Structure 1
Amino acid sequence: MAAETNTTLTAAQIAAALAKTRAKNGRAFSRKFYLTYNIIVVGLFLLACAAYWVNIHLVQKPRSNEKRPLIGQGRAKPGRYSAITNLYRKARGVLLYQPPGRYLESYGTMLVIGLYLGLNAFYCFYDSTFNRRVLANRFGLMSVVNMPILFLLGSKTGLLVQWTGWSHEGYIILHRHAGRVVCLTALGHVVAFCSSRSLASYLEKTRFILGFVSLLAFLIILVTSISPIRNRMYETFLYAHVYFLVVGMVVLYFHYARCRPYIITSGVIFIWDRVVRFKDSHHVVGRTENVSGETVKLSLDVNSTFRDIHWKTGQYIYVTISELARTQAHPFTIASHPSASTLDLIIRARRGFSRSLYDSEKTEHKVTFHGPYGSPATFENCQKVILLAGGAGVSYTYPEAIELAKGDKFFDGETPEIDFLWVVPKRDFADWVDLDSAKYGVDFKLWVTAESGRPDIKQYVKDSVLETLKQNNYDPDTKVAVAVCGPAPLVLASRNACADLLWDNVNVMFYSESFGW
């Protein structure tokens, strides 16, 4: 009789088999589960587009060119509407408020960031049983699934800005956090895999080596993106951002087949962005003039090219001067009125490109720029527009004030009252700007910090808004807009002043114009 085969398994073997089965089932579930993340993200994006469309075409757009009737047919009755409006404004005030702190954003922005990070954490850890192989798989999937989002948010052509109406500043903030999610989940992917097996066993296979190379490229981008490094070595950050991103994406394509649809999608977005930039590019002659405050005025001759150039107040362009920085494109707000013969830019000399332009002995340059981009605020139906600028931030508020005074932005010819304040360190800083109030019909107010100290912007905004309310007999429908462009403390003070006013049920609109990386 043949000896019976011993099929008894040890406890360790059973545990290993169960762990392997759980890991296999977990990975299979992850590959289906993460697809719902795409649906959620696309749904939120479409919701943001719909909200912007409703705001532009139904809320702000005038119904006709007629004046308002003497008997207010559109005025809502007090009661339920007033309570809802009050609650809505309070909610806006809370979301608009920004606590003091260098790395803190407004509560609304931090809420969006928190939801985004929380959603990614949920998809990384839900039903993972904290199995290292399952976690490694989840981290890798969430890294690549966020890459198209990262590329869309980093697009310089402003497609998402035009579709959602969000500011360039807001998209850059979301772009940074998306980049951190991509890099950190990629790091988690490698660490989790290496903790389940020896590192040497992974280095035996080419696709794993490619994964390590891709991770290294992403980590270099992450390190050079840290704020102090980015600010001190901007050119290093920019080159690392572009070249290591291309290397990381190409290597990642060959690392794992499931990455390829997302890598291809990201590549399409990247190429599309470059094609649009090429289509929107203009080659013109630019003339520089160094003015006070270590500032250079770059005037682009729009007649030096065969293509027509049109722009709106508040839009921005990306500028490249090959002889100073061949591969760099820097964003600047257009500082001239749409009907001007030159497209002017006001550039504060800091480091790198701006310093090279300021120190250049040449006053005429061959300039390539692409744009304009952006969906600036229109301030329709506002009784007053408060324009605040600090230093070179006047590049936005000055042409905006002139255009508002002309009534170019309003269908019914009603021009709002304009409260213009420009904060400068010294009086000669403003010598190069034409502040003739009689000529433009704008009361240009200049605040010189060397003579009067720093202004209380928060109180200034509140006093100006309350003055308008008083003039309109405290009508709750009185609408005031506050637009600011300048250093962070100026933006913070004006933002929080508007937040306080919204909490007090005052109809205030806030708009800030700034650029950064």
Structure 2
Amino acid sequence: MDRAQACLQAQGILTGSLPAFVRALCEHPAGLAVASEDDDMDWTKDPEKVEYIRQLLEALYEARAIVSCYNIVIVLVIVVLAVWHWRETRSDRKKWQRLREWQGADTGDGTTSPASSSSGTILGSATPPDAKDLDLERVPLLAGNRATKGPRRSNMVGRAIRSWLAHQPPPLPIVNRTLPSNGTSLFIVCWLGLNAFFHFFRLPMRWDFFFIFADRAGCIFVVNLPLLYLLSAKNQPLRHLTGYSYEALNIFHRRVGELLCFEGALHFVSMLLWQFLLARDWLTARSAHVYFTHPLVLNGIGALLSYELLYFTSLATFRQRWYELFLSSHVLLQFLALTFLFHHYHTARPYVALSLLIFAADRLLWRLTLKRATLTADLTLLDADTCLLSANWSIPPPPPETSNRSPFHRQSILHGWHPADHVFLTVPCLGRTHALQTHPFTIASAAPSSSSSPCPQTDDNGANENSRSTHAWLNLLIRAHDGFTRDLLRHARSHSHSHSRAPHPAARVSVRLDGPYGSPRALGVLRASGCAVLVAGGSGIAVVFPLVWALLHEDGWGEGGEEDGKVVDNEIISERKLRKRRVHLLWVTHAREHREWVPGLQMEELRERGLEVVMPEPTAEAGRPDVKGIVAGGWRAPRRRGGRAVRNVCAEEIGRGREVRVAVEKFGW
């Protein structure tokens, strides 16, 4: 291989990959002429050195080809998850329709036919509380419908595996870090193993080829960039493909970010080891100053620092203390990191462009235009630390020229939402510092019927086109902590209409809402179950209440009127529902006044429609209740248990042969 061929190959394939000095020589032919005056630096005249460069180039080219297949594997995994989600959703819809058919079935003697499904669902809105003995109802929420026959040996292994996957281990000692379920952890470990495979597959195990290891770390960093930004986007196709919204996938977003920070640091340290310890003398720069002042290296250091700062400002302790700074720095550091990386690593430019496109489309196209709405809302004080932001409006009809299947139709909150959805709130009147901030809050009010009560003939959004509600009532339950929420509470106090005769005078403000966001998965799981148990801790009622309301107010469930040409009374429908599907609510509050967050009339209406409510004594007065005992019936020997109680109750019931599914709705900020 002559000098021109070696330079051409280095330029065309590996621009940005060789050490700074070699890359400079390859990019500038005059530099080779100058270097040839020094016998030690003229590596192009030494056949052994040329052969070494050739092998190095071939190894790097092969590494690029291998790592480029990574995203193909990721796409295949997403396809598998999409097929799995499609089958699960299809099965849930069939179960739900079957339950609706059973709802209207009559045995002829005034009683309804028994439900043939013994499945149950537990949904938690937040980490459940610890345990302490309380004298509550003696009947466990998951009692009944247990298998009377012994389990088949062939099913025991499958049940044991599913039980282990659903189990949530205790937090890590010393650091007290909460762990997800075993199934989630196993999925993350498999993904990490996939990255390790691409990092080490066909990697030359020679010290003089250590540059390949360092470069491969940079490649792993780059190919994961689109996945990182896709998981962070609020509007993403993964919600429709997997059934999980961005907040449920946030745990994977954090793990991808941690891997990128590790691979970036590994790439930097490995390059330093290569440059100053392992590389042959004729391949390295003459001094550290020449190396660190090269634009390629400077851009790399800038990208590394930007992403490392992104990681540290995203830690829970930082977010909780300086949430506003976390929001602003996240946008600035993202832009700086992508800019530095674009100029540092030529091979990374397509991945950087794709990541920037995902980031810009989510922020500019969706969140600042299609998903944004401005409303006038009322702020009502509920207690010393809680206020209610409420608004109502008429849902606009769809434009006649717009197709119902258009992806740009009915995107903002003005067109309704689904149960357990949330929005990002901005209140400009609080001051300049809050004018650009957005804070997430779960919608605590029932969703309009167009969003929460889909019938078998529905549109893509799950909305029944023939029974669409024309009005929306939105409530946000806001607990004051620091920063934005504390300022909002102060504003509500200082601007409330004290002359009003209402028991809770309200302050009127103009707000911007970005959303709604969420996933209908939890409601779909609950609808397909014969026994639904919903657990809420404190303000988690904002998640659970709309789900309960949707379950008990679905079309044909609990509504009086005609059924097969016969007039049916509300009481008969309600009685049938009690026999068909059990709906339980366990709500644990800290203080007694917190029970006023849900109006008494609405709670009473839900009771009349079949809801069984368990509200233990407030934890401030009687300590934390025995959640496991309430759900599964462990009354005789109550013990203190951690926040994993509800999830692990499900795991134990699965191991016993019960058809139990669990869905946890909570933010991963």
Structure 1 length as normaliser, TM-score?
A: 0.84
**Residues 354 and 73 (structure 1), Cα distance of their counterparts in 2 relative to 1, 3 Å cut:** closer
Q: CA deviation at 1:74?
A: 11
Q: Following the alignment from structure 2 to structure 1, what is the Cα–Cα distance between the partners of residues 600 and 69?
A: 56
Name 2:621's counterpart in structure 1: 451
Match of 2:386 among 295, 298, 304: 295
Q: Following the alignment from structure 2 to structure 1, what is the Cα–Cα distance between the partners of residues 193 and 344?
A: 28
Question: Relative to structure 2, which stretch is displaced further, 13-22 or 234-243?
Answer: 13-22
Question: Relative to structure 2, which stretch is displaced further, 78-87 or 243-252?
Answer: 78-87
CA contact (8 A) 2:167 2:182 kept: yes
Q: What does 1:224-263 correspond to in 2, within 5 Å?
A: 224-263=313-352
Match of 1:371 among 511, 515, 520: 515
- Match of 2:421, as an amino acid? Q
Q: Following the alignment from structure 1 to structure 2, what is the Cα–Cα distance between the partners of residues 422 and 409?
A: 27
CA contact (8 A) 1:158 1:374 kept: no
Describe the SS at the equivalent of 1:328. coil
Size of the alignment, in residue pairs? 480
CA contact (8 A) 1:380 1:410 kept: no
Q: Following the alignment from structure 1 to structure 2, what is the Cα–Cα distance between the partners of residues 327 and 305?
A: 27
Describe the SS at the equivalent of 1:104. coil
Q: CA deviation at 1:297?
A: 1.3
Q: CA deviation at 1:86?
A: 5.0
Q: Following the alignment from structure 1 to structure 2, what is the Cα–Cα distance between the partners of residues 81 and 454?
A: 35
Q: What does 1:275-286 correspond to in 2, within 5 Å?
A: 275-277=365-367, 278-286=369-377
Bigger radius of gyration: 2
Q: Following the alignment from structure 2 to structure 1, what is the Cα–Cα distance between the partners of residues 352 and 53?
A: 29
2:534 maps to 1:387: yes
Deviations 1:484-511 (A, max 9, x none): xxxx954x21111111111111111111
Q: CA deviation at 1:42?
A: 0.7
Q: Following the alignment from structure 2 to structure 1, what is the Cα–Cα distance between the partners of residues 214 and 425?
A: 42
Name 1:206's counterpart in structure 2: 295
- Match of 2:543, as an amino acid? Y
Name 2:230's counterpart in structure 1: 152
2:64 maps to 1:31: yes
Describe the SS at the equivalent of 1:342. strand
Question: Relative to structure 2, which stretch is displaced further, 292-301 or 246-255?
Answer: 292-301
Q: What does 1:90-105 correspond to in 2, within 5 Å?
A: 90-101=160-171, 102-105=177-180
Q: Following the alignment from structure 2 to structure 1, what is the Cα–Cα distance between the partners of residues 224 and 323?
A: 25
Q: Following the alignment from structure 1 to structure 2, what is the Cα–Cα distance between the partners of residues 33 and 247?
A: 29
Larger RCO: 1 or 2 (CA < 8 Å, sep 6+): 2
Q: Following the alignment from structure 1 to structure 2, what is the Cα–Cα distance between the partners of residues 313 and 72?
A: 26
Q: What does 1:337-356 correspond to in 2, within 5 Å?
A: 337-339=446-448, 341-356=472-487
2:433 maps to 1:320: no
Q: Following the alignment from structure 2 to structure 1, what is the Cα–Cα distance between the partners of residues 474 and 328?
A: 28
Question: Relative to structure 2, which stretch is displaced further, 100-109 or 356-365?
Answer: 356-365
Q: CA deviation at 1:155?
A: 0.8
Q: Following the alignment from structure 1 to structure 2, what is the Cα–Cα distance between the partners of residues 105 and 18?
A: 51
Name 1:502's counterpart in structure 2: 654
Describe the SS at the equivalent of 2:56. helix
CA contact (8 A) 1:217 1:245 kept: yes
Name 2:275's counterpart in structure 1: 197
Deviations 1:457-502 (A, max 9, x none): 11211139xxxxxxxxxxxxxxxxxxxxxxx954x21111111111
- Match of 2:654, as an amino acid? L
CA contact (8 A) 2:590 2:619 kept: yes
Q: Following the alignment from structure 1 to structure 2, what is the Cα–Cα distance between the partners of residues 416 and 506?
A: 16
Deviations 1:224-253 (A, max 9, x none): 122322322222222222111111102211
- Match of 2:423, as an amino acid? I
Describe the SS at the equivalent of 1:350. coil
CA contact (8 A) 2:245 2:517 kept: no
Match of 1:112 among 182, 187, 192: 187
Deviations 1:265-303 (A, max 9, x none): 111211221212221211111221222261221113334
- Match of 1:461, as an amino acid? V
Q: Following the alignment from structure 1 to structure 2, what is the Cα–Cα distance between the partners of residues 503 and 182?
A: 37
**Residues 396 and 35 (structure 1), Cα distance of their counterparts in 2 relative to 1, 3 Å cut:** same
CA contact (8 A) 1:89 1:507 kept: no
Describe the SS at the equivalent of 1:287. strand
Name 1:478's counterpart in structure 2: none
Deviations 1:416-445 (A, max 9, x none): 222112111111122242234543323433
Q: Following the alignment from structure 1 to structure 2, what is the Cα–Cα distance between the partners of residues 37 and 457?
A: 44
Q: CA deviation at 1:513?
A: 1.1
**Residues 410 and 40 (structure 1), Cα distance of their counterparts in 2 relative to 1, 3 Å cut:** farther
Name 2:438's counterpart in structure 1: 329
Question: Relative to structure 2, which stretch is displaced further, 184-193 or 409-418?
Answer: 409-418
Describe the SS at the equivalent of 1:460. helix
Q: Following the alignment from structure 1 to structure 2, what is the Cα–Cα distance between the partners of residues 117 and 183?
A: 14
Q: Following the alignment from structure 1 to structure 2, what is the Cα–Cα distance between the partners of residues 43 and 31?
A: 20
- Match of 2:511, as an amino acid? V
Q: Following the alignment from structure 1 to structure 2, what is the Cα–Cα distance between the partners of residues 89 and 336?
A: 37
The percent identity for this pair of structures is 29
Q: Following the alignment from structure 2 to structure 1, what is the Cα–Cα distance between the partners of residues 55 and 557?
A: 64
Flag structure 1 segments of 5+ consecutive residues without an equivalent: 1-12, 465-487
Q: CA deviation at 1:98?
A: 0.8
CA contact (8 A) 1:162 1:374 kept: no
Q: What does 1:133-172 correspond to in 2, within 5 Å?
A: 133-172=211-250
Q: Following the alignment from structure 2 to structure 1, what is the Cα–Cα distance between the partners of residues 237 and 253?
A: 14
Structure 2 length as normaliser, TM-score?
A: 0.66
Describe the SS at the equivalent of 2:327. helix
Q: Following the alignment from structure 2 to structure 1, what is the Cα–Cα distance between the partners of residues 557 and 230?
A: 33
Q: CA deviation at 1:167?
A: 4.9
Q: Following the alignment from structure 2 to structure 1, what is the Cα–Cα distance between the partners of residues 212 and 482?
A: 46
CA contact (8 A) 1:459 1:497 kept: no
**Residues 141 and 335 (structure 1), Cα distance of their counterparts in 2 relative to 1, 3 Å cut:** same
Question: Relative to structure 2, which stretch is displaced further, 388-397 or 374-383?
Answer: 374-383
Q: Following the alignment from structure 1 to structure 2, what is the Cα–Cα distance between the partners of residues 428 and 114?
A: 44
Q: Following the alignment from structure 2 to structure 1, what is the Cα–Cα distance between the partners of residues 328 and 156?
A: 49
CA contact (8 A) 2:165 2:181 kept: yes
Q: CA deviation at 1:121?
A: 2.0
**Residues 167 and 111 (structure 1), Cα distance of their counterparts in 2 relative to 1, 3 Å cut:** farther
Q: CA deviation at 1:190?
A: 1.7
CA contact (8 A) 1:380 1:409 kept: no
CA contact (8 A) 1:435 1:444 kept: no
Q: Following the alignment from structure 1 to structure 2, what is the Cα–Cα distance between the partners of residues 370 and 233?
A: 22
Flag structure 2 segments of 5+ consecutive residues without an equivalent: 1-45, 108-112, 119-147, 172-176, 277-287, 398-411, 449-470, 496-506, 564-572, 635-640
- Match of 2:163, as an amino acid? G
Describe the SS at the equivalent of 2:435. coil
Q: CA deviation at 1:406?
A: 2.4
Name 1:126's counterpart in structure 2: 201
Describe the SS at the equivalent of 1:157. coil
**Residues 489 and 269 (structure 1), Cα distance of their counterparts in 2 relative to 1, 3 Å cut:** farther
**Residues 19 and 458 (structure 1), Cα distance of their counterparts in 2 relative to 1, 3 Å cut:** farther
Deviations 1:145-202 (A, max 9, x none): 1010001110112532232112544311100111111222112112211222254333
Q: CA deviation at 1:34?
A: 0.4
CA contact (8 A) 2:92 2:528 kept: no
